[in-house]
Amino acid sequence: MRYDPEQEPYVALRTKALESLLIEKGLITAEAVDAQISQYEQDIGPLKGARVVAHAWVDPAFKARLLANGEAIAELGLPGGAPLVVLENTPTDHHLVVCTLCSCYPWMVLGLPPTWYKDFAYRSRAVIEPRAVLREFGLELDEGVALHVHDSSSEMRYMVLPERPAGTGGLAEEELAALVTRDAMIGVAKVAAPAASGAAAGERAEGR
Ligand code: FE
């Protein structure tokens, strides 16, 4: 797959041209476009995905439905969009998400992609040497763990359901959601157990 950095401005220009045309024809307004962008920038963050993950951790039936069909996020009142596939990370299988072509991303659950997700280096190396990439993110996978790299597209978006960390048995769903990071849902990190040692049921990490 060849990458031409010159295409980026072209895509931006083309988007602007399309937007102008749609506004000119009265099909959309500039305000509606701005509102949509601001919604993705501010309102839809990784928090929605974190809610999905936490719910899947506490409700096995929901988790089964979610893994069978990502549209199960609708049960939490989340809108769909592009088809969504949810991949479960386990002690034996680790999933990593990339879009080698551009920056396809599960916006509906994770908001806007991080800058590195769109970088050519990540897009190419995630496929060529995924373990090295994970190591740079601070995640060392055991040799025995099977690593699966998923290439997103406009037809298919992927979200990782990370492993629930040990020692979180007593946490409420909202507390679990607070542990889930965007990176864990892309597959470049794991969800860490609550920072404070012995953060068992009832204990709260302070200073957050
Ligand atoms: Fe893409």
| pLDDT given for residue 167 in this prediction | 92
**Beta bridge partners of residue 87, listed in sequence order:** 160
pLDDT digits (tens, 9 = 90+) for 118-164: 999 999 999 999 999 999 999 999 999 999 999 998 889 999 999 99
Q: At what angle do helices 7-24 and 30-38 cross, to 10 degrees?
A: 130
The pLDDT of residue 16 is above 90: no
Q: What are phi and psi of 16, to 5 degrees?
A: -60, -45
Please give the DSSP secondary-structure letter assigned to residue 102.
S
| pLDDT given for residue 149 in this prediction | 98
The identity of residue 14, as a single letter, is R
CA of 81 to the centre of ligand 1 (A): 15
What does each C-alpha distance from 69 to 54, 61, 159, 188 come to in angstroms? Answer: 17, 12, 12, 23
**If you average pLDDT over every residue of the chain, what do you get?**
87
Please spell the DSSP secondary structure of 56-88, one letter per residue. HHH-HHHHHHHHH-GGGGGGGT----S-EEEEE
Confidence of residue 3 (pLDDT cuts 50, 70, 90): low
CA of 7 to the centre of ligand 1 (A): 13
The identity of residue 179, as a single letter, is L
Q: What are phi and psi of 207, to 5 degrees?
A: 80, 20
For the residues 105-114, what does the mean pLDDT come to? 89
CA of 8 to the centre of ligand 1 (A): 12
Residue numbers annotated as active site: 99, 102-104
Cα R_g (the chain), whole angstroms? 19
Tokens representing 121? 């280096």
Question: Cβ neighbours of residue 183 under 8 Å, at least 6 residues apart?
Answer: 114, 137, 189
pLDDT digits (tens, 9 = 90+) for 81-102: 679 999 999 999 999 999 999 8
SS3 184: helix
| pLDDT given for residue 84 in this prediction | 94
- Count of residues in the chain: 208
CA of 104 to the centre of ligand 1 (A): 3
CATH numbers and ranges of domains, the chain: 7-41 (no CATH), 45-186 (3.90.330.10)
For the residues 13-29, what does the mean pLDDT come to? 89
Q: Identify which has the larger pLDDT, 196 or 27.
A: 27
**pTM given for the model:** 0.77
Confidence of residue 206 (pLDDT cuts 50, 70, 90): very low
Q: Is the dihedral of CA 29, 33, 36, 41 positive or negative?
A: negative
What residue ranges in the chain does DSSP mark as E strands? Answer: 84-88, 93-98, 146-151, 157-161
